[in-house]
Amino acid sequence: MRFAIQEAMRGVELQIGEQVLETFPTSVSGLDYNEDRDQIVTSGVGFVGLNIGRYYANGDRKVEVLINNNSVMVSSVNLYLTNPAYSQTGQSEGTQYKRITVQGNKALIQYADYSGYQLSVPLGQSTLFVLKCVNFESEDDVISASDNFDLAEIKSLLGEN
C-alpha cells in the first residue's frame, strides 16, 4: 500500500512539474530552449522532492533554470538569506554575492569567474528557484532574464504562499 501511495504521489508530482514547465518561456534573452533537456525528476518521497529544469543556449551564452520543491536543500538557502553575514554585498574566495529582490521575493545573486552568475530565489518555505547564467554581461542582464519567469504563478502551482 505504501508503494502504491508513493507511485500515486510520483504521478501527481510529474503532473505538477509539467504544469510548471508550461509556464517557462521558450526563449530567454535571445537564447532558445532545448526541449530534450527539459527535466522533471521526482522520487515520490519528501527528502529529494520535485526537481524541474529547463536549459537555454545560444553560442557560449547559457541559461539553466532549476526549481527544487519540497527538498531539505531549500532550508540551507534560507539560512544564507537570514544569516547577517550575507546581509550586505560580500566577497569570498573569488565569489561575489549580494542580496537583491526579484519580483518581490528576497534573492541571492552570486558571481564567480569560472561559472558566471547564479540567482537563487526561495519561493515560500519549501521551493527554491535557481537561475544559472553563463557569459552574461551584468547583474541587470540576469535580473532581466529572471523576469521572463512568472514566479507568482510558479508559487501558486507548487502551493507556496
Listed ranges 5-13, 33-41, 77-85, 131-139: which one lies at the site for another protein (CB under 8 A): 5-13
Closer by beta carbon to another protein, 6 or else 125? 6
User: Is residue 125 part of the contact set for another protein (CB under 8 A)?
Assistant: no
CB count, 10 Å around CB of 160?
16
CB of 122 to another protein, least distance (A): 18
Closer by beta carbon to another protein, 49 or else 146? 49
Q: Minimal CA–CA distance to 112: which of 98, 99, 100?
A: 98
User: Is residue 74 part of the contact set for another protein (CB under 8 A)?
Assistant: no
Site string for another protein, 85-114 (x = CB under 8 A): ------------------------------
Q: Quote the CA–CA distance of 18 and 87 in Å, as a whole number.
A: 35
Return the C-alpha cell found at 17.
Answer: 512539474
Burial group, residue 45, by CB count within 10 angstroms (0-12, 13-18, 19+): exposed
User: Is residue 16 part of the contact set for another protein (CB under 8 A)?
Assistant: yes
Residues 6+ apart with CB under 8 A from 152: 103
Site string for another protein, 25-64 (x = CB under 8 A): ---------------------x------------------
What is the β-pairing status of strands 31-33 and 50-58?
antiparallel
Using CB under 8 A, list all residues that contact another protein: 1-2, 5-6, 8-9, 12-13, 15-16, 19, 46, 157-159
